[in-house]
Chain A
Amino acid sequence: MNAHSAPHPIVAGPAPDHPGRPAFIAFEDAAITYGRGDKAVQALAPTSLKIAEGDFVALVGPSGCGKSTILKMVGELLAPTSGHVFVAGREIGATPIRIGMAYQNPTLLPWLTVRDNVMLPLKIVPPFRQQFRAKRRGEFRDRVEALLAQVGLGGFGDKYPWQLSGGMMQRANLCRALIHDPDLLLLDEPFGALDQFTREELWAIMQDLWLSKRLTVLLVTHDLKEAAYLANRICVMSARPGRILDDSPVALARPRTIEMTFAPDFVALNQRLRALIVGARGGTGIVSGHR
């Protein structure tokens, strides 16, 4: 609760809430409770959160704290048991926006080529869906090729997913989440299963994509470095029942580089976030052997 009393090594830029602009995503005391009566478990305590259009927000916190729950509510996969969630000014379930989503598991369809996998949302989401039937396939093909090239997968369109490395699959997964020009991108630990170097490569790609499209992104991650590298704003959540403990802007200049992650202010930010999460888990953060 005393989040803002901690020293902010990097404080500049806008305040988390933009009072002048209507929030693109707004949680109003939204809470999730599973089960009923005595067995009821509160997964997410009443949470209020506002995210501006075009912002890049990271959610970090201990496992099982309800980060993914928040993501699922924004993605209209889950309705709050109490309170409200508004996206683009409308209560979820009735929002007219387009959403892209990418999980840690790339879930590419093994019977389709990379190109057809990336094209999948165009076959489903209007207005592309209708255009697809109107034989604009060739146009869509070029569109897919361009996006694939942007993430460094140019020339891989004809491959099957199982012929790609984990990092390449995740790039294709990102492309699938972005091909239909979503207003909102939801990322649930998309780089979690990758090795360090591939992950850093994908951070750079993700940042380029965001800088070129400026869509609203909500990223759930365990990796504090990833959150600080990519996001404009980091929300730290407590252990279950989850609530937002801290909400800090990250005022590093863009485009950010891996070198910047070794700078003292970046490291200080990481350490502060880490201390918050360790506190949220109820631990001391000290490995017993070091006593």
Chain B
Amino acid sequence: MDHLKETLRDNAAPVALIAGVFAVWELACLVFGISDILLPRPSQIVAALVKYWPAIWPHTWQTLYTTLVGFGLGVVIGLLLGILIGSSRLAFRTAYPLLVGFSSIPKVAVVPIFVLWYGAGTVPAILTAMIICIFPIVVNVATGIATVEPELEDVMRTLKASRWDILWTVSLPRAMPYFFAALKVAITLAFVGSVVAETVASNRGIGNMMMIASSSFNVPLVFAGLFVLAGLGVALYLVFSLIEYRVTGWATRRSDLAAG
């Protein structure tokens, strides 16, 4: 019972803020008589969500699919590159400038190239989601691995530990908090990538649905698309926060670990 009370108290303020924002939005639209062509009220958006749900659902699925596949590929590639770059100063110095240059290209600009190569549709969305989330993962993992205490490395080397031993027992676990911090950034970025690609060149996905809805001035549906994207983003962020909490609790010196 006390636990429930505590949970309620801890979450009361953020929930109140979210509810407050929507209430002010709703009221402001009513009081100032804002047309739903410009800014629909939250209640209209929810109504649109319910009304068009059978049509929204396949698009949601498509966006989730391209985002997760792109994110998954980005994580694998980012992790491997991060390990490679973080393990060797030479690799770090050699690859870093290229990586920075690569990452400073606005990802919208590469979508047409992917379309040129693979045609409009699913593949450009996956690839855009992928390249947009590689960079934060590479940088974070490389930092985590490169900042292993030199004394600890000495201790491992006097034990005649192989590079693989050091990577597996010390560097990788040590890089996990960095990795998860990057994952939380990357998953939201992956949505940006896939939706941008869908908006530019696809006939499926939430991005495409919003484009079509806006061209027919169905503004509540456009906003319904935004709500779906926000919902997906928050849900995946929560999933990774939960995994992070379980895997890297040591980094925050969690007290429930201490019970042993």
Interface residues of A (CB under 8 A from B): 72, 75-77, 99-103, 105, 107, 109-111, 113, 120-121, 123-125, 158-160, 162-163, 176-177, 180, 186
- Rounded to whole Å, the gap between the CB of A86 and the closest CB of chain B is 17
Decide if B173 is an interface residue (CB 8 Å cutoff): yes
* List of A residues within 8 angstroms of B151 by Cβ: 103, 105, 107
Asked if A105 and B158 make an inter-chain contact with CB atoms under 8 angstroms apart, the answer reads no
Q: Which residue on chain A has the smallest CB distance to residue B161? A: A124
**Which stretch of B10-18, B198-206, B249-257 is in the interface?**
B249-257
Q: How far is the CA of A109 from the CA of B151 in the complex (A)?
A: 12
Contact between chains at B158 and A101 (CB < 8 Å): yes
Do B149 and A124 touch across chains, with their CB atoms under 8 A apart?
no
A163 to B157, CA, bound (A): 27
Q: Given A107-B149, A124-B165, A124-B169, do A162 and B253 touch, yes or no (CB 8 Å)?
A: yes
Q: How far is the CB of B154 from chain A (nearest CB, A)?
A: 6
Interface residues of B in 201-260 (CB under 8 A from A): 248, 250-251, 253, 257-258, 260
Can you offer 26 A-B residue contacts whose CB atoms are under 8 A?
A: A77-B154, A77-B157, A100-B158, A101-B158, A102-B155, A103-B151, A103-B155, A107-B152, A107-B155, A109-B169, A109-B173, A110-B250, A110-B253, A111-B174, A111-B248, A111-B250, A111-B251, A121-B159, A123-B169, A124-B159, A124-B160, A124-B165, A158-B260, A160-B250, A160-B258, A186-B158
Q: Which chain B residues lie closer than 8 Å to A113 at the CB level? A: 260
Q: Tell me the dominant secondary structure on chain B's binding face.
A: helix
Q: Which residues of B contact A186 (CB under 8 A)?
A: 158
- Listed residue (A111, A162, A180) with the most chain B CB atoms within 10 angstroms of its CB: A111
Top 9 A-B pairs, shortest CB-CB distance: A158-B260, A107-B152, A111-B250, A103-B151, A75-B158, A101-B158, A99-B158, A124-B161, A124-B159
**Closest Cβ–Cβ distance, residue B164 to chain A (whole Å):** 11
Having A99-B159, A125-B160, A180-B159, one finds 15 other A-B pairs with CB under 8 Å, namely: A76-B157, A76-B158, A77-B157, A101-B154, A101-B155, A103-B154, A103-B155, A109-B152, A109-B173, A111-B250, A111-B251, A121-B159, A124-B160, A159-B260, A160-B253
Q: B residues within 8 A CB of A120?
A: 169
Indicate whether B156 reaches chain A with its CB closer than 8 angstroms.
Answer: yes
> Number of contacting residues on B, CB 8 A?
24
Q: Are B149 and A105 in contact (CB under 8 A)?
A: yes
Say yes or no: B170 contacts A109, CB within 8 Å. Answer: yes
Chain A residues positioned under 8 Å from B174 (CB to CB)? 109, 111
| Identity of the chain B residue whose Cβ is nearest the Cβ of A105 in the assembled complex | B151
Smallest CB gap from A188: residue in B: B151
Least Cβ distance of B152 to chain A in Å? 4
Which chain A residues border B253 with CB–CB below 8 Å? 110, 160, 162
Chain B residue nearest to A162 in the complex (CB): B253
Asked if residues B159 and A163 are in contact (CB atoms below 8 Å), the reply is no
Given A101-B155, A105-B151, A111-B173, is A160 in contact with B257 using a C-beta cutoff of 8 Å?
A: yes
Separation of A107 and B166 alpha carbons in the complex (Å): 14
Alpha-carbon separation in the docked complex, A103 to B251 (Å): 22
Please indicate the chain A residues that have their CB under 8 angstroms from the CB of B257 in the complex: 160
Look across to chain B and name the residue whose beta carbon is closest to the beta carbon of A101: B158
B165 / chain A contacts, CB cutoff of 8 Å: 124
